[in-house]
Amino acid sequence: MQKRERDWWKRAVIYQVYPRSFCDSNGDGIGDIPGIIRKLDYLKSLGVDAIWLSPFYCSPQADNGYDISDYRDVDPIFGTMADLEELIAEADRRGIGIVPDLVLNHTSDEHEWFKKAKSSRTDPCHDYYIWRDGKEGVLPDNKRAAFGGPAWEWVPEVQQYYYHHFAVKQPDLNWQNPEVREMLYDMIRFWVEKGVAGFRLDVVDSFGKEIDRDIFQNGPMLHPYIREMRQKAFIRDDLLTVGEAWSVNLESARLYGNPDGSELSMAFSFEHLMLDVAEGNDRWHPIPLRFRNLKKTMAKWQNGLVGCGWNTLFWENHDVPRIVSRFGDDGRYRAESAKMLAAVLFGMQGTLYIYQGQELGMTNVAYPIEEYRDVSTLNFYEEAGREGWPEEKRMAAIHAQSRDNARSPMQWDDSPQAGFTSGKPWMRVNPNYREINAAAQTGDPESVFSAYKELIRLRKEYPVITEGTFELLLPEHDAVFAYRRTLGSRAVGNRMGTSGEGGMGIGSGTGEEILVVANFYGETIPDPLAEEEKGMEVLFRNYADEGTKGVLRPYEAVWYCSR
Ligand code: TEU
Ligand code: CA
């Protein structure tokens, strides 16, 4: 197995695979582990260091595997334990780590623990879950589940309700029960011993919930539990551990990602992905992107964790829309805007995460409701229907925000079903696969894929990207996203407030400076940083030619480097 440095993940590029939609090896229409093994060389060529693997465990698939019925085995639809071991070994041979998703907030209602728990109030497993007495038809309170409907479900056998934060088939575990935690830690050690490189922790911020006090995230016991888990389960020092935390702020990020290693490596913050939906992160009410807030938010995170935490950098995952359809233009300027969005993100400090297909500029889908599979989308459709939303408005919200935007099958080539499967795919392939696919892009130097590859290479070549300071430029500009990264003596110059000029390295030459300038929109505009750019070298540009000096073309993005 690869030996990794303790903080290898600071320079790493992590690629998220959603196994169901990645590559189907046996024609049953569902992506699987042998399919992932086939594509390892593709991932290697992109420059990937590790794969975050969404759940592959035994599961009735009510939430595509985020409802686990056996944590210690592979679901037959994805393959066998032997396949998974082969994946770990084959990835390792290429210097790629495997980072499984851990879903510890809830299990499936078909997990052995829950089957026992609901059989009798005196079963030792009963207290593994969260129960309330009550009467059938009279809910304990009006708490709602994140995927629609009440958060309580009645079980006649025990004459009680159980709590589920997500779907009915996802009962929440009772983290206050020390036996539950020990069982989970033991399971985690099982996977550590299999040779994984780390873990992604699903809804980590909910572990300390105290629902009677209406505390769903950031409960008083959250960080003590994580520290306990670090001690007892994350028994190797070189594991990448990343928590999914919709509620994280700078203060809690400094706990999750404490550089003393007492908790996790880092936590995903979603603040930058809440700026085009209504207050309260209401995804079904999309609004235009608040662009200046986007810049300020990202700058706040860049500057807020220096020396006291670590950032995650990402535009996509399996729960959110495709970024090119979201913040870019998936029509005329699809390739340009997809590359621009990469150029803006990849120059920042943090661990970079890419979601499958993002490197091709894959777009959102717009299907009729029958083609959607996601439980939260289907529940929303029903509920909004009952609330009287007109059909058009419901579908517009779904087209913009459904999680299935990210879950349509990976587009490998222009053969039927995009080369994803030889059978009938579990979800319809985006019809644009004939133009947008990996085969068309890997050999094309002007493709989105090639831009991703080049930006990843540059990230690894320039230490300033991992270590330099960050300075947001033109925060009030309505169209330009620009910032400067500085390392060494130049960084000192910056701190002394001389950042206005190009050559503040004062001749020492030990510093390194990268300037990222991007036009976030589709109109040609004057380049407000033209003066700064003089004398700098172009490292990357998302257009083949230089264009006109002093002007930024639609979605044009450039990385400049000090000479
Ligand atoms: O997601 C948690 C979560 O809060 C999101 O699903 C969120 O509710 C949604 O995107 C709306 O903003 C994690 C997983 O990433 C997701 O796929 C699972 O469905 C969920 O947990 C339950 O395990
Ligand atoms: Ca399959």
CA–CA gap between residue 480 and residue 545 (Å, rounded): 20
> Which element (helix H / strand E) includes 189?
helix 178-193
The tens digit of pLDDT for each residue in 120-154 reads 999 999 999 999 999 999 999 999 999 999 999 99
* Residue 198: closest CA among 2, 358, 355, 47: 2
Task: For residue 244, count CB atoms less than 10 angstroms from its CB and return exposed for 0-12, middle for 13-18, buried for 19 or more.
Answer: buried
The tens digit of pLDDT for each residue in 8-22 reads 999 999 999 999 999
Ligand 1 touching residue 63 (CB < 6 A): yes
Higher pLDDT, 148 or 483: 483
Can you tell me which atom of ligand 1 is nearest the CA of 66? 23
The catalytic residues are 202, 244
CATH superfamily of 112-163: Oligo-1,6-glucosidase; Domain 2 (3.90.400.10)
Residue nearest to atom 10 of ligand 1 (CA): 319
Residue nearest to atom 17 of ligand 1 (CA): 319
CA–CA gap between residue 35 and residue 53 (Å, rounded): 13
Residue nearest to atom 14 of ligand 1 (CA): 202
Residue with tokens 């071991």: 85
Architecture in CATH for domain 466-562: Sandwich (2.60)
* Band (2; pLDDT cuts 50, 70, 90): confident
Q: For the chain, what are the domain ranges? A: 8-106+178-365+431-441, 112-163, 366-402, 466-562
* DSSP assignment of 227-269: HHHHHHT--STT-EEEEE-TT--HHHHHHHT-TTSSS-SEEE-
Domain 8-106+178-365+431-441 adopts which CATH fold? TIM Barrel (3.20.20)
Quick check: 471 pLDDT over 70?
yes
- As a whole number of angstroms, the longest Cα–Cα distance in the chain is 78
Three-class DSSP category at 348: coil
Can you tell me which atom of ligand 1 is nearest the CA of 167? 22
Quote the pTM value.
0.96
Separation in Å, CA 212 to CA 113, 147, 180 = 23, 20, 19
Ligand 1 touching residue 246 (CB < 6 A): yes
pLDDT of residue 490: 64
Q: Which residues of 348-371 are buried (b: 16+ CB within 10 A; e: fewer)?
A: bbbbbbbbbbbbbbbbbbbbeeee
Q: Residue 362's Cα: distance from chain center in Å?
A: 15
Q: In 257-360, which ranges are continuous DSSP H helix?
A: 291-304, 323-326, 334-346
- For the CA of 78, the nearest ligand: 2
CA–CA gap between residue 340 and residue 519 (Å, rounded): 8
Average pLDDT over residues 368-393: 97
pLDDT of residue 491: 60
CA–CA gap between residue 280 and residue 247 (Å, rounded): 11
Best residue among 63, 64, 166 to mutate for probing ligand 1's pocket (most ligand atoms within 8 Å of CB) is: 166
Residue nearest to atom 7 of ligand 1 (CA): 319
